[in-house]
Chain A
Amino acid sequence: MSAVAAGPELPPDVDRQLDGLPPTELAVSVLTYNNAATVPAVMSAVRGGLEKHFTGTPAVLINADAGSADATVDRLAESGLPFVRARHEAPAAQLGAVPFHGVPGRGAALRLAVAVARRLGVRALLVLEADVTSVTGEWLERLLRPVLEHGADLVMPVHARHRYDGTITNLVLAPLVGALFGRRLHQPLSGPRALSARLVERLTAAPRWPASGRSMVDLWIAGSTAADGLSVHEARLGRWHVESSTRTADLPTMVAQTLGAVFAVMEEYEDLWMATANWLPVPAEGPALLPADEPAQIDVERMVGAFTRGLRDLGTIWEHVLAPDTLGDVLSLEADDLERFRFPDDLWARVVYDFALGHHWSVVYRDHLLRSLVPLYLGRTAAYVLATRQRDAAAAESALAAVADAFEREKPYLVDRWR
């Protein structure tokens, strides 16, 4: 294998692999980095799904690997599917400290997969994560069917999760991305997705892919799809279970990386979100999901404690980031009394937008800025738990919808200050 350059042309060794392949309709892409332990389960689901739901439809497996030191690629090659493999470029820093999505250089990997899919002329490209072992054959059906039969260009996943899982996504990423792009996606940074041939074609022709290393590519694809007026769907999948020893498990790092990715896309691709003022519904495929709702041990007191420590320790950074009114409102939150502690949705939206603006104008070192949001996120999450822990699942969903409403309502605040 050889490293794949970031240009539109495929490297020669990949080109050679394509020469011998039969015509194909589906491409399944698995992006990997040291996933030998989990790819057999993923490939078992792929084979099962193809056999059950796409019998007779020719498919190819595309693997972009960041330089696995284990038998990841060998395990994939044993799948029995026609196999295209390549090694993609990955920033050294991400090889040392693997980002939240588990694939160093995920942008380069996706670009490679898209380029191969276009060359093969497939009708749909499915992207799967190599360490998500809860994948089933049904996932293939629910992600691909909307592309193949319902005109979808991008199908994003919705996972069945406990109400207090995915708090970064639910309280920050999803409402922010929804307000930016005009589509309320439940899990905008989750890895599984399906792309239509039309979207693959457009992405291949796109003049400006995001630089690898800032984990922007998934958001850029979603934003581009929405901005181009293409059809975005969601597929309700099952449980989402990751078995990874490499993905970062550090909460502040995850906040910094994921939010940093959104802010970077905002910075680099203003055209994708600045003018968006219409919020379109996202059709969802698949049976309604019942979220896991077993009792959870959430230490709200410690979260509020982290928030109040932030008030004390990070005031000097927040003074530079938050607008005076916003800072004043944050300082006024009644953190001394758990029963009275609330974090209003509009205030939260302004906090996140102020951080986006602070990132945009580089008011402080950006990594410090992103990490200094963590105590605020913990405070907002604590407020969400306090508001919903005695209520049913519908009320929890309704609380999240209110957060999304607030982000959309406050978007002019962001746009007005961006330029």
Chain B
Amino acid sequence: MKNGARDWYKDAVFYEVHVKAFRDANGDGTGDFAGLTESLDYIQELGVDCLWILPMYPSPLRDDGYDISDFYGIHPSYGTVEDFQKFLDAAHARDLRVITDLVMNHTSDQHPWFQASRSSPASPYADYYVWSASDRRFADARIIFVDTEKSNWTLDPLRREYYWHRFFSHQPDLNYDSPAVRREMLDVMRFWLDRGLDGFRCDAVPYLVEREGTSCENLPETHAILKEFRAVIDQEYGGDRILLAEANQWPEDVRPYFGDGDEFHMSFHFPLMPRLYLGLRLEDTRPITDIFTHTPPIPPACQWGLFLRNHDELTLEMVTNEERAFMYYAYAHDPGMKLNLGIRRRLAPLLDGDRRRVELLNSLLLTLPGSPIIYYGDEIGMGDNVYLGDRHGVRTPMQWSRDRNAGFSSVEPGQLYLPVIADPVYGYEAVNVAAQARQPSSLLNTMRRLLAARRTSSVFGRGSIEFLRPRNSKVLAYLRRHGRQTLLIVANLSAAPQPVELDLAAFAGATPIEMLGATAFPTIRTAPYFLSLGPHGFYWFRLEQPGDGDEPFGIERSPI
């Protein structure tokens, strides 16, 4: 690996991809690992560092794979464990790391453990799940899927007891009070890590343990178990395999998941994401700057995971009711676009296909503190189809070309796992990889350039952040610092050109070098530094002090 550091994840850009959605190599209408392996050149050329694979395990697919029925296998539609191994080896050969989803909290009700557990209270698996004669226990725990579930308990007709489930009723929660369950799940992790996997994105981690009189979320007992897992993985695998937490909570509640650097390596920063959209729509920096004032420091070895969109709805759990109402007004004018407490749309259609806004949000994603996560297809501005139900509309086939089925598969269109996007604006004939690869100014090539520029400095992944406070509140400006390097990021959230004066007196004498074009801007003086920005324009500057620069090659003294 080019970046062989133990904390490689701090510099990495992640690419979230669904195996079924990327490329169908065997011609059955569903993407597979062989197809993903064929597509690795594309992913490498995009310039990301790590793939995050959505659930790939055998599953009845009642929750798109988050209902796992066998932790040790690959869903037959996606291939075999051998196919996975080939894919993993091929990714590593390209200096790409891979993490996969692992659903720790629950299994499918089709999992043999659950089937054995429900068969008899005397089964060796009887306590693998949380059973109760009453559905009144843990009454303070909220119901998460309010649209579909009425209780966290469901009566099992065979065992004639209630089983606990925080999500769908077909997803019984594992009982982490059972030492056997903890051993089983560690063995599951070992199975994949032994194959070379670089880590796990751990799904729904706040809910592992239940205690009476609590919300059954974020309990100390849950943290103790997670720390135990981390310690074992660190000890057995050398410390460069990562755990990424999915904890859709406020930053201060997520903070304990980092522990003292001994629990999760990374966690998603859920509340930042909707505020990027809010700030953009309001043309006001405050929603963005405010959330950082509420973001606690994290241990040095830890990292936030940042994202604009993912495979779920754009969750609005972490905003106020007022903000949620505005987000619905601004980004979900059609009621069909709403799902649970969120909006089921992709990045480009959320932004009305406005290229400048798409680039601006991506610029923020790549320059704010954390490791960015790009959702497959957003790099070319793919659209969605809200009429497909649930979150299927943002999980449609990757649009490779204007060929049949967008170049994704050779089957009859009716055999595809989901139809390709075919509308006139975002359809595969207008939006596809092949066309954008040929066009130097395409969104795809712009993303490649942004990612390439990000790779030139470790400050993006490792630096502190300090917001400047220009009088023009439509212009977001912040400094990122790490070691001797300082970056200045300036972004116009407005659809109109904006001027801004920045107090950069502390950097008097330095020259801002615009990083995308490597252009030197006028030297900073003690007077306010004036910049003008086009609509939704942005700058990434490296502040170069006289005598600064990268380590010399030794040929700079007189190269002409």
Interface residues of A (CB under 8 A from B): 96-97, 100, 161, 164-169, 173, 189-190, 240, 242, 248-254, 256, 258, 296-299, 302-303, 306, 309, 312-317, 320, 363-365, 367-368, 371, 378, 381
Question: Looking at the complex, which one of B452, B455, B518, B552 makes contact with A252 (CB distance below 8 Å)?
Answer: B518
Smallest CB-CB separation from A309: which chain B residue? B455
Smallest CB-CB separation from B511: which chain A residue? A97
**Contacts A168-B559, A298-B553, A381-B555: A315 and B520 contacting too (C-beta < 8 A)?**
no
* Closest CB pairs A-B (n = 5): A313-B452, A298-B554, A165-B558, A168-B559, A97-B520
Q: Are A167 and B559 in contact (CB under 8 A)?
A: yes
B-chain residues with CB within 8 Å of residue A367 when the two chains form the complex:
517, 519
A-chain residues with CB within 8 Å of residue B445 when the two chains form the complex:
316
Q: Are A316 and B45 in contact (CB under 8 A)?
A: yes
**Is B557 among interface residues, defined by CB-CB distance under 8 A?**
yes
Secondary structure call for the B interface: loop
A293 to chain B, nearest CB (A): 14
**Which residues 430-470 in B have Cβ within 8 Å of A in the complex?**
437, 440, 445, 448-449, 452, 455
Q: Are B560 and A302 in contact (CB under 8 A)?
A: no
Q: Are B455 and A313 in contact (CB under 8 A)?
A: yes
Alpha-carbon gap, A168 to B181, bound state (A): 65
Q: How many pairs, one residue from A and one from B, have CB atoms within 8 Å of each other in the complex?
A: 85
Smallest CB-CB separation from A296: which chain B residue? B554
Question: Looking at the complex, which one of B47, B448, B517, B560 makes contact with A368 (CB distance below 8 Å)?
Answer: B517
**Is B112 among interface residues, defined by CB-CB distance under 8 A?**
no
B527 to chain A, nearest CB (A): 15
Q: Are B440 and A364 in contact (CB under 8 A)?
A: yes
**Is B551 among interface residues, defined by CB-CB distance under 8 A?**
yes
- Sample (28) of A-B pairs whose CB atoms are under 8 Å apart: A96-B522, A164-B554, A164-B555, A165-B557, A165-B558, A165-B559, A166-B560, A167-B555, A168-B559, A169-B560, A189-B560, A190-B560, A250-B549, A253-B518, A254-B559, A297-B554, A298-B553, A298-B554, A298-B555, A299-B552, A302-B551, A302-B553, A306-B553, A313-B47, A313-B448, A313-B452, A316-B440, A316-B448
Per-residue CB proximity of B516-560 to A under 8 Å, as 1/0? 011110100000000000000000000000000101111111111
A256 to chain B, nearest CB (A): 8
A89 to chain B, nearest CB (A): 20
Please report the total number of B residues contacting A with Cβ < 8 Å: 27
Alpha-carbon gap, A169 to B513, bound state (A): 25
Alpha-carbon gap, A150 to B168, bound state (A): 96
A-chain residues with CB within 8 Å of residue B452 when the two chains form the complex:
312-314
Q: Are B47 and A251 in contact (CB under 8 A)?
A: no
A-chain residues with CB within 8 Å of residue B44 when the two chains form the complex:
312
B513 to chain A, nearest CB (A): 8
Q: A100-B560, A256-B518, A313-B448 are in contact. List 7 more A-B contacts (CB 8 A).
A: A97-B522, A165-B559, A250-B520, A298-B554, A313-B455, A314-B452, A371-B517
**Contacts A166-B560, A315-B45, A316-B448: A371 and B518 contacting too (C-beta < 8 A)?**
yes
Per-residue CB proximity of B248-272 to A under 8 Å, as 1/0? 0000000000000000000000000
Alpha-carbon gap, A251 to B549, bound state (A): 10
Alpha-carbon gap, A161 to B555, bound state (A): 12
Alpha-carbon gap, A250 to B517, bound state (A): 13
Q: Are A320 and B553 in contact (CB under 8 A)?
A: no
